[in-house]
Amino acid sequence: MSKAFVKKIHEQNKKVSASFPDKESTHGFVDQLFNFLFVPGSGRDHALSEVEKEFDSLQSYMSTLVYDVTHDGERSQSVTEKFFATLPLVYVALIKDAEAIAKYDPAAASLDEVVVSYPGFYAIAVYRIAHELYKLGVRTIPRMFTEYAHGKTGVDIHPGAVIGEGFFIDHGTGIVIGETAVIGNSVKIYQGVTIGALLSAEERKSDKRHPTIEDDVIIYAGATILGGNTVIGKKSVNGGNVWLTSSVPTGTSVYQQNNISAL
């Protein structure tokens, strides 16, 4: 390996280090915040003052991460304050998500089991955390959050997607939800579902590249729904492995036609 190549790599890595927070630190924040909200550790039965210290520590942690991207102390403090002001609403939304999973998954023994062990719930939680930061104009850190969850769960949700309350993910592996997707309330999605963009030049130039999924829709395993103009109407049912690039009216059931012949 030549010295010139080593120098080039060194200079490139310095540029990256100056522009982005450390990966391990970013991933560590997500897990610490998730555990703070939902998974009490051995010391969490201590006095309220100890929990408040943990909360303050998390705020300092985030402020440092944002500063590593913005290099602006005032902005990092402002973003941190606004983010943590949204946390009570995020928590309420996540409890509704957990309740939906516990209600509709017959394998779920309790709400607590969903919260501490379901990868779909973890992916939703990280998405909702990342989405609030994304709305505050921070881009790289939310992507790092959701890609970390993607690696752990197999669920790939872009932080720019807009997802309503009571979101139910079953199993989760292989789910992809794109940046401009809009998903309503009480939507149920199974493994292997893609809510993505078409590859046409017109779609690439559009601000809305991904579908809209309205309230109370069910999307079964392996379904692919594409396109910014595609709207899946309320209370529709989309069967396994369907391929959709056009809208579905309210209350419609869409299934793949199988031709089965006797042996």
> What pLDDT digit, counting tens, does each position of 38-54 carry?
976 544 566 787 888 99
The percentage of residues in the chain with a pLDDT greater than 90, rounded to a whole number, is 78
Which CATH number does the domain housing residue 247 bear? 2.160.10.10
> How many angstroms separate the first and last alpha carbons of the chain?
62
**Higher-confidence position of 97 and 203:** 97
Q: Is 74 part of any domain?
A: yes
Instruction: For residue range 143-155, list pLDDT tens digits in order.
Output: 999 999 999 999 9
Question: What pLDDT was estimated at residue 260?
Answer: 46
Together in a domain, 94 and 135: yes
Which CATH number does the domain housing residue 31 bear? 1.10.3130.10
Structurally, the chain folds into a number of domains equal to 2
Q: Which of 130, 156, 182 is the last residue of a domain?
A: 156
Mean pLDDT across the chain: 90
Together in a domain, 152 and 27: yes
Q: Is 227 part of any domain?
A: yes
Q: Is 105 part of any domain?
A: yes
Q: Is 64 part of any domain?
A: yes
Q: How confident is the model at residue 261 (pLDDT cuts 50, 70, 90)?
A: very low
Q: What is the CA radius of gyration of the chain?
A: 21
Q: Is the per-residue pLDDT at 202 higher than 80?
A: no
Q: Is 185 part of any domain?
A: yes
Beta pairing class for 218-219 and 237-238? parallel
Residue 140's H or E segment, with its range, is helix 140-153
Q: How confident is the model at residue 258 (pLDDT cuts 50, 70, 90)?
A: low
Together in a domain, 138 and 207: no
Residue 224's H or E segment, with its range, is strand 224-226
Distance CA 223, CA 63 (A): 40
Together in a domain, 46 and 105: yes
Together in a domain, 148 and 205: no
**Higher-confidence position of 126 and 69:** 126
Q: Is 11 part of any domain?
A: no
Statement: the pTM of the whole predicted model exceeds 0.85: yes
Distance CA 234, CA 136 (A): 30
Q: Which of 127, 156, 185 is the last residue of a domain?
A: 156
Give the mean pLDDT of 155-177.
97
Full domain range(s) for residue 139: 22-156
Tokens 């009490």 sit on residue: 40
Together in a domain, 95 and 219: no
Question: What pLDDT was estimated at residue 45?
Answer: 61
Give the mean pLDDT of 13-26.
74
Together in a domain, 32 and 144: yes
Question: What pLDDT was estimated at residue 164?
Answer: 98
Q: Is 167 part of any domain?
A: no
Q: Which of 102, 130, 156 is the last residue of a domain?
A: 156
Q: Is 17 part of any domain?
A: no
